Amino acid sequence: MLGLKLPTDPRWVNIVEKNIHEILTDHAFCEQKATSTAISFIVLFPEYTDLVQEMTALVKEEISHFKMVHDKIIARGWTLGRDRKDEYVNKLMTFFPKGGSRVDFMVNKLLYAALIEARSCERFRLLSEEINDAELAEFYRNLMASEANHYTMFLGFARKYGKREEVDKKWQDLLNFEAEIMKELGTKETMHG
């Protein structure tokens, strides 16, 4: 369903289980960055009313997810750790060349967001099925559907505002590029790494 070309190695969950605090901290910051991304769409593309409406709803949802993850951290007697670079996102963002039209920029940004949400959904599914912590398994099962909806929303907007054939080619090329990135990742207790 997600179209990912390379699934996460299930052994990644074993890495996560050794440091739950780290994955929860990383996850919290992923939700904060998702909130910021939604806000950036509103700021950059205010004339696209339907996009602004959806991004406004997404801001509320993503910040509520941040709070949910933060609450899990507090409930376990921890504090939110510091943010760190997201190697996955930084590498992913090098795919599309700079420049081009404003619409191209928006479409590319939408495709990046769709792929990040798709990978998050896949990782949430894996955690919900494989992690030995029953509370977190249920938590990630519940979040999984939201991520899938976000992925399809971003991809849908890219296809709506870009030329469908070009967007679909870009999407497939980006999926292939992401698979190459994923060959190097999956060894850290981070949501995408």
Contact between residue 169 and residue 108 where contact means Cβ atoms under 8 Å apart: no
Please tell me which residue, 147 or 76, carries the higher pLDDT value: 76
Angle, CA 44 vertex, CA 40 and CA 50 arms, to 5°:
90
Distance between CA atoms of residues 44 and 143, nearest Å: 27
What is the per-residue pLDDT across 96-111, written as a single tens digit (0 to 9) for each? 998 889 999 999 999 9
**DSSP state for residue 186 in the 8-state scheme:** -
Q: According to the model, what pLDDT value does residue 57 have?
A: 97
Q: What confidence category does residue 84 fall into, taking pLDDT thresholds of 50, 70 and 90?
A: confident
Please tell me which residue, 71 or 185, carries the higher pLDDT value: 71
Give percent of the chain above pLDDT 70.
Answer: 98
What is the per-residue pLDDT across 28-72, written as a single tens digit (0 to 9) for each? 999 999 999 999 999 999 999 999 999 999 999 999 999 999 999
Q: According to the model, what pLDDT value does residue 189 have?
A: 74
DSSP helix, strand, coil percent of the chain (3-state; round to 5): 75, 0, 25
Predicted TM-score (pTM) above 0.75: yes
- Of 17, 63, 15, 57, nearest to 36 by C-alpha is 63
Phi first, then psi: give them for residue 42, nearest 5 degrees. Answer: -65, -45
Quick check: helix, strand or coil at residue 9?
Answer: coil
Q: According to the model, what pLDDT value does residue 1 have?
A: 56
Q: According to the model, what pLDDT value does residue 191 have?
A: 80
Tokens 């992925």 correspond to: 151
Contact between residue 9 and residue 123 where contact means Cβ atoms under 8 Å apart: no
